[in-house]
Structure 1
Amino acid sequence: MTEALFLFDPTSDDAPIQTDELHSGWNIALPQSVRKHAIQVMRLGRGDDLELSDGKGLRIQARIEDAESGLVKILSVGRQDKPVMRLALIQALAKGGHDEQAIDMATQIGVDVVIPWQSSRSIARWKDGRTDRKWFQTLQSATEQSRRSWLPELCDHVSDKQIVAICQRANVHGDLVIVLHQDATDTWSQIETAVDDMAAKCLADARPRTISVIVGPEGGISDEEIEMFRSAGAKCCVLGTNILRASCAGVVALSLLSRTLGRWS
């Protein structure tokens, strides 16, 4: 059985961990938040294995020595490199928690960056200190569930004009922005060709690149927004004949991109 993974903050006040000085055979105390989840909620005990990650590539395999004190022995320490080809999801706010469903599944698939978008047609509104906390907690939970070493970066929410700026920067840096829209004429096979070309350039010059997928709200992306993004250099694409929900469209696109980039065998 695969060990459960728990995210931790190395600078936590209750149990700070010097991540650059860890070695196999060492004993460390679990931070209180991890201890509560692993021992009180999941009922792990002495002799049970678990994994720890700081969400920035560090991965620690450990075995519980003393459940009461939260003491664990380190079995191995490793680090996963950050992907050179990054996947970003620009997700419009959606009612009924569909946006949170989208970023939850996107995290499980392997998205690297999540950008909330206050679309002109979004019924839900962004509330600083509340919405961002809920989205971050969703990313954390999905990262642990999927046992990832990298926690997706949650960026500030953006407006239409800021997405235009993202598209313009993508043109300069060799990145790619894909807008999912039911009335687009470009097919996914054309997108895959562009992604293959981009991956080849990335391999040649070893410079990180980002593929961003823009997903609209329940009512779809407006014609004005589509024109703004397309004029700024984004590629508009239709996934297929079926119309997908806001919680599903980005997930399907990211799954296809992961396969194209070789993340999935």
Structure 2
Amino acid sequence: MTDAMFVVDTTSDDAPLSSDELQTGWTLRLPEEVRRHAIGSMRLKEGDELQLSDGTGLRIQAVVDDPKSGIVRVLGFTKEERPVVRLGLIQALAKNGHDEQAIDMATQIGVDEVTPWQADRSIARFKAGRTDRKWMQTLRAATEQSRRAFIPELHGMATSKQVLAMIRRDMVHGNLVIVLHQDANATWSDVERQVEELAAKCLDDGKERTVSVVVGPEGGISDQEVEVFAEAGALVCVLGRNILRASAAGPVALGLLSRAIGRYC
């Protein structure tokens, strides 16, 4: 069984994680929140191994030395590189927690950045300091559950006008934006062909590029939103015959994209 993973806040005085300073054999004191989870909830005991990460690529293999004090000893560590082809999710706010379900699954699949979107038809409303906090907690928990060394970057809430500006900017930088829409003519085969071309460019020049998926709310993306996004350069496509919930469409698309860019064997 894979050792449990815990994301540690690098601003904590108890756990100043840095691959530039870290050494095998060092001892670290787990932050109180992590200690409660690891020792109190998961019942890790002396001699049990675990993984720690700063959420930006650092992965530490450690062993519990003193459960009561939350002291762990570093066995080894690695620093993972950011992927050259990045995956993004622009997820419309949706009711009944469907948006949080979407970003949870997307994180497990491997999304690299997430943007909450207040779409024209979004019933749920973004509440600064509350919605973003809940989304960040979801991303962190899913990162730990899937044993990832990177927490997806959470951008600020975007309006449809701001999403349009993002798409225009992406076109300038050679990125690809895919808008999922049930009435589109383009198919997923068209998407995969363009994604493979983008991935080949990244391998050739080493330049980082992003493939982003835009997912609407329960009522779907409005015709006006689809029109302006397409005019800005986004590829509007239908994912398949079945109409998926707001919680499922993004993760399904990201799973297919992960295979297309070689993340899945």
Distance 2:199 2:113 in 1: 18
Specify the alignment match of 1:96 in structure 2.
Answer: 96
Deviation at 1:18, TM superposition (A): 4.7
Specify the alignment match of 1:150 in structure 2.
Answer: 150
Distance 2:218 2:155 in 1: 22
Q: Does 1:55 align with 2:60?
A: no
Specify the alignment match of 1:140 in structure 2.
Answer: 140
1:94-153 CA distance string (max 9 Å, x none):
000000000000000000000000000000000000000000000000000000000000
Q: How does 1:104-115 map to 2 (within 5 A)?
A: 104-115=104-115
Deviation at 1:69, TM superposition (A): 1.1
Identity %: 63
Q: Does 1:27 align with 2:27?
A: yes
Q: Does 1:200 align with 2:191?
A: no
Task: Please give the root-mean-square deviation of Cα atoms over the aligned residues, in Å.
Answer: 0.9
Deviation at 1:199, TM superposition (A): 0.8
For residue 193 of structure 1, give the secondary structure of its aligned residue in structure 2: helix
CA contact (8 A) 1:28 1:72 kept: yes
Distance 2:245 2:73 in 1: 45
1:197-252 CA distance string (max 9 Å, x none):
11111111111000010000000001010001000000000011100000000010
Specify the alignment match of 1:123 in structure 2.
Answer: 123
The two structures have a TM-score, normalised by structure 2, of: 0.98
One-letter amino acid of the counterpart of residue 78, structure 2: G
Specify the alignment match of 2:225 in structure 1.
Answer: 225
Distance 1:18 1:262 in 2: 29
For residue 171 of structure 2, give the secondary structure of its aligned residue in structure 1: helix
One-letter amino acid of the counterpart of residue 225, structure 2: E
For residue 21 of structure 1, give the secondary structure of its aligned residue in structure 2: coil
Higher mean displacement: 111-120 or 28-37 = 28-37
For structure 1, list consecutive stretches of 5 or more residues without a partner in the other structure: none
CA contact (8 A) 1:93 1:119 kept: yes
Distance 2:145 2:17 in 1: 22
One-letter amino acid of the counterpart of residue 155, structure 1: H
The two structures have a TM-score, normalised by structure 1, of: 0.98
CA contact (8 A) 2:5 2:144 kept: yes
Distance 1:85 1:11 in 2: 29
Deviation at 1:14, TM superposition (A): 4.3
Higher mean displacement: 48-57 or 199-208 = 199-208
Specify the alignment match of 2:160 in structure 1.
Answer: 160
Distance 2:85 2:151 in 1: 16
Distance 2:171 2:130 in 1: 34
One-letter amino acid of the counterpart of residue 260, structure 1: A
CA contact (8 A) 1:10 1:19 kept: no
Q: How does 1:64-75 map to 2 (within 5 A)?
A: 64-75=64-75
Distance 2:17 2:213 in 1: 36
Deviation at 1:30, TM superposition (A): 1.3
For residue 20 of structure 1, give the secondary structure of its aligned residue in structure 2: coil
Distance 1:15 1:202 in 2: 35
Deviation at 1:16, TM superposition (A): 3.6
CA contact (8 A) 1:15 1:32 kept: no
Deviation at 1:20, TM superposition (A): 2.3
Distance 1:89 1:26 in 2: 38
CA contact (8 A) 1:181 1:238 kept: yes
One-letter amino acid of the counterpart of residue 102, structure 1: A
Runs of 4+ residues over 4 Å off in structure 1: none
